[in-house]
């Protein structure tokens, strides 16, 4: 049964140099037709699998950039969502946003349609780094937009930050963290740059033109991040996420709990009935499938028990609380240590895992090499 719903809006007014998500320039795109198609896809899925959507807890609008839409387009999208999904029971209804696109009428359209959480892509408070990233907003946009959002009624606001950027210094990162924390927001996400194929940064990297910080420098930036958040009483609850009590991202926790969710829109991914699936990415192919009255799924995979167990470990260990022995056994009908006992002992001896009566979790040292730890749990 789906705990959450992800809806992909692939339109952007500016393509960022690091982004590998499914996206297109907004101009000359069939945006209104796409919005109507989202409604049809949701309606079809609910018709075919009504039991999957009875108890959804969250909806997340991602992209691309949902706030690339006009206020009227946002209103229509939310009308369709509220028509076909049971939104009155939601714990959380999030939308991603760009600071320089959130006009007051868009904010009002979002909140009138039930959105109660904003996740803003700030990335840096250094204008030279923002330019390298291909971002178009300024610090003033961030401050003004957050103030407007609060005035309209948004109190659950998160911002994304990035470190390990080309040419980024420790001092620049420290300044960004200080400016971010001065906003006194309830939630922060901070990610190290990953150079993905099919991005402008990847082309520069291949040509030897991307001046990235060293691994040690990046580790120092991550260390500073954890210290600064801790000093402000903002609790780390996942490798890259920090929140005040009561403001953990319910939607993202669905992924880390390895629970099921539906994905709608071009290029969206979902996980329902033990099947991981992905939709057509090209908008034209997506719209063709919807016009034919079919779900636009291009690829699906029945997840095996072995794969589920692996995912439970490497996703669950991202959380500070780690993976519970009891929940693992209840879910898979086998004790965790009967599969991973030797691995757990090894990682505990290496100072990368902590084991107690409740379960296992990364140590602070383990968070720096999380991906290496996760590899041990692939059977």
Q: How far is CA 17 from CA 60, 168, 217, 258, 355, in A?
A: 24, 15, 22, 30, 41
Query: Reduced to 3 states, what is the DSSP secondary structure of residue 85?
Result: coil
Q: Mean pLDDT across the chain, nearest whole number?
A: 96
- Split at pLDDT 50, 70, 90, the class of 143 is very high
Per-residue burial over 23-48, b if 16 or more Cβ lie within 10 Å, else e, is bbebeeeebeebbebbbbbbebbbee
Tell me the pLDDT band of 69, cut-offs 50, 70 and 90. Answer: very high
Pick the closest to residue 123 from 181, 95, 162 (CA basis): 162
Nearest by Cα to 124 from 12, 11, 16, 238 = 16
The pLDDT score that the predictor gives to residue 22 is 81
pLDDT for position 15: 82
Please enumerate in sequence order all residues whose Cβ is within 8 A of that of 131, keeping only pairs 6 or more positions apart, or say none: none
Q: What is the rounded distance in angstroms from the CA atom of residue 183 to the CA atom of residue 147?
A: 10
- 3-class SS of residue 42: helix
Residues with Cβ within 8 Å of 360's Cβ and at least 6 positions away in sequence, in order, are 317, 322, 323, 325, 336, 344, 353, 354
> Any idea where the domains of the chain sit in the sequence?
4-256, 323-375
In contact, 187 and 156? CB cutoff 8 Å:
yes
Q: Is a pLDDT exceeding 90 seen at residue 229? A: yes
The reply to whether 4-256 and 323-375 are identical in fold is no
pLDDT digits (tens, 9 = 90+) for 309-324: 999 999 999 999 999 9
Q: In the predicted model, what is the mean pLDDT of residues 57-69?
A: 96
Given a cut of 80, whether residue 174 has pLDDT beyond it is: yes
Express each pLDDT in 322-373 by its tens digit. 999 999 999 999 999 999 999 999 999 999 999 999 999 999 999 999 999 9
Q: State the CATH architecture for 323-375.
A: Orthogonal Bundle (1.10)
| pLDDT above 90: residue 34 | yes
Please compute the mean of the pLDDT values over residues 93-101 and round it to a whole number.
96
Query: Is the predicted pLDDT of residue 379 greater than 80, yes or no?
Result: no
pLDDT average, residue stretch 191-211: 92
What pLDDT score was predicted for residue 268?
98
CATH of 4-256, picked from 3.20.20.70, 3.30.300.130, 3.40.50.1820, 3.40.630.10, is: 3.20.20.70
pLDDT at 160: 98
**For the whole model, what pTM was predicted?**
0.96
């Amino acid at each position: 049964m789906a705990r959450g719903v992800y809806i992909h809006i692939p339109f952007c007014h500016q393509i960022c140099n690091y982004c590998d998500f499914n996206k297109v320039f907004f101009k000359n795109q069939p945006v209104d037709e796409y919005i109507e198609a989202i409604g049809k896809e949701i309606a079809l899925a609910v018709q075919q699998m009504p039991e999957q959507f009875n108890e959804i807890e969250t909806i997340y609008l991602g992209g691309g950039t949902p706030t690339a839409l006009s206020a009227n387009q946002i209103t229509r999208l939310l009308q369709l969502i509220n028509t076909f999904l049971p939104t009155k029971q939601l714990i959380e209804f999030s939308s991603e946003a760009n600071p320089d696109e959130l006009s007051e009428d868009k904010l009002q359209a979002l909140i009138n349609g039930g959105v109660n959480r904003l996740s803003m892509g700030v990335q840096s408070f250094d204008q030279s780094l923002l330019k390298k990233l291909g971002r178009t907003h300024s610090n003033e946009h961030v401050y003004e937009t957050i103030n407007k959002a609060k005035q309209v009624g948004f109190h659950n606001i998160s911002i994304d930050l990035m470190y390990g950027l080309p040419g980024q210094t420790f001092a620049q990162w420290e300044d960004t963290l200080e400016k971010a924390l001065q906003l006194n927001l309830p939630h922060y996400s901070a990610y190290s740059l990953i150079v993905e194929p099919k991005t402008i940064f990847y082309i520069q990297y291949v040509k030897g033109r991307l001046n990235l910080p060293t691994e040690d420098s990046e580790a120092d930036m991550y260390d500073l991040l954890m210290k600064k958040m801790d000093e402000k009483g903002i609790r780390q609850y996942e490798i890259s996420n920090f929140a005040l009590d009561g403001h953990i991202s319910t939607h993202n926790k669905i992924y880390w709990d390895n629970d099921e969710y539906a994905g709608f829109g071009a290029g969206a991914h979902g996980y329902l009935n033990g099947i991981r699936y992905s939709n057509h990415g090209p908008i034209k192919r997506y719209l063709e499938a919807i016009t034919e009255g079919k779900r636009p799924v291009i690829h699906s995979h029945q997840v095996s028990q072995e794969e589920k167990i692996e995912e439970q470990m490497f996703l669950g260990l991202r959380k500070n609380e780690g993976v519970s022995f009891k929940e693992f056994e209840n879910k898979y009908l086998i004790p965790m240590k009967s599969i991973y006992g030797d691995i757990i002992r090894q990682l505990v001896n290496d100072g990368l895992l902590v084991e107690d009566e409740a379960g296992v979790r990364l140590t602070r040292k383990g968070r720096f090499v999380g991906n290496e730890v996760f590899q041990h749990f692939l059977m």
